[in-house]
A = this chain, B = another copy of it.
Amino acid sequence: MINWAEYTIVKTENMLRRLDTLEFPLSYHVGILGTSGFTAFGGFFKICKPKKEEKVFVSAAAGSVGNLVGQYAKLFGCFVVGCAGTKQKVELLKEKLGFDDAFNYKEERDLKSTLQRYFPHGIDIYFDNVGGEMLEAVVANMNAFGRIAACGVISDYTNSGKHTALSMVDVIYKRILIQGFLLTDFSINDYDDFMSKTMDYIRAGKLCVLEDISCGIESSPSAFVGLFRGDNVGKKIVQIANE
């Protein structure tokens, strides 16, 4: 259901089926086992094509997709640094999610040198949720044959008209790949792979599930606006009613 409503009239009966939640809470199926999880999994494994020990940077790393990218990358054997917009989120990334390091981008004045500090040997993979200045700074710090999965542009959504000033000289000489993607691009095989691996990880306690649940249809507007202000930690979910 994609309406923001307590009740919806659905005219064709076969459009609806009851979700088999398997052994997991219903909410997992809109987050870690839903679009957020599949976006993180497909974007990281299919677009970024990681190799073990590569250096991975994730922006909006406490967000619904970013936190999972970082966790998948750690489980795969990469070195992972994330950025977020509050001290609490940065602590969470380092202490609960197992990121190798993390920083609060709002406290940094020069993102290029910040990234150089966290990646003295350069960035191999960037999972981009924000675009803008952060993407510019990543390109300047990227290694040869680096890959950028372009997943979101929160900086453009909230700051229309301001585009990312990309150094194409860097893109060419470092042979950087930038690939925009949507989760609908991945195949059913990718989906099966994602579901089976992710369920195994959750069962084994290897993936931490971050949910940020508010209650009641009346909390929807503030929940939505909060996404653009960076209020949420993990998947933002509005629970309309109990099951």
Hey, which bits of chain A sit against chain B, CB under 8 A?
A: 128, 131-132, 135-136, 150-153, 156-157, 163-182, 185
Contact = CB atoms under 8 A, between A and B. Distances in A.
A39 B151 CA distance: 30
B167 A156 contact: yes
Contacts of A173: 180, 182
Contacts of A157: 169
Nearest to A185: B175
B172 A181 contact: yes
Those 9 A-B pairs whose CB atoms lie nearest each other, nearest first: A163-B165, A172-B180, A131-B168, A171-B180, A178-B178, A153-B168, A166-B166, A175-B180, A164-B166
A214 B87 CA distance: 64
A224 B151 CA distance: 41
A149 to B, nearest CB: 10
A185 B164 CA distance: 27
Contact of A150 (B135, B156, B168, B182): B168
Contacts of A165: 163-166
